[in-house]
Amino acid sequence: MAEKIILFMKKTTGVLLIQLGTPDSPSVSDVRRYLSEFLNDPRVIDIPWLPRKLLVNGIIVPFRAPKSAKIYKELWDLSDNKSPLLTYTEKLVELVQQRFPDEDVHVEFAMRYQNPSLDDVLERMKKMNFDQLKKNEEILLCYFKLTKPVYLMKKNFKTF
């Protein structure tokens, strides 16, 4: 009698936590770059392109960046010279990873604005060829009661 050999390939799931973003440092130039990227997004300020560019780049960013940089500096000084959002997100990645000790789950995070950029992290995860896609509500909301920070990526990212 011939023996059947059945190979089970372990499915892999990629979990991507997405935060809004944080400047790379509390310097005025990094805060300016962050504010410019964030506020020039048409989903953030929903007015036509030209008025938005004039408002953001001509009024808001030049005046707001220095003030915001001081506030970011104060926050970073309280957080070992690192962005509190970045620190807490890195900790959240660790906690989420711990929730899947016996499963082949890989957890990453990205920032919608600035670094690590969503495009870079998605590209890196795409190369990992994940098999499984679940919605954030199915997995992490039951553990952490968060609102829309998590996306699970499927091979080839056809859902994006």
**H/E/C letters for each residue in the chain?**
CCCCCCCCCCCCEEEEEEEEEECCCCCHHHHHHHHHHHHCCCCCCCCCHHHHHHHHHHHHHHHHHHHHHHHHHHHHHHCCCCCHHHHHHHHHHHHHHHCCCCCCEEEEEEEEEECCEHHHHHHHHHCCCCCECCCHHHHCHHHHCCCCCEEEECHHHCCC
Model's pTM, two decimal places? 0.74
pLDDT, residue 11, reads 65
- Predicted pLDDT at 4: 52
pLDDT in tens, 30-54: 999 999 999 999 999 999 999 999 9
The predicted pLDDT at position 85 comes to 94
Residue 104 pLDDT greater than 50, yes or no: yes
Confidence of residue 2 (pLDDT cuts 50, 70, 90): low
pLDDT: which is higher, 152 or 108 = 108
Instruction: Find the mean pLDDT for residues 134-157.
Output: 40
Mean pLDDT of the chain: 81
pLDDT at 16 over 50: yes
pLDDT score at 158: 35
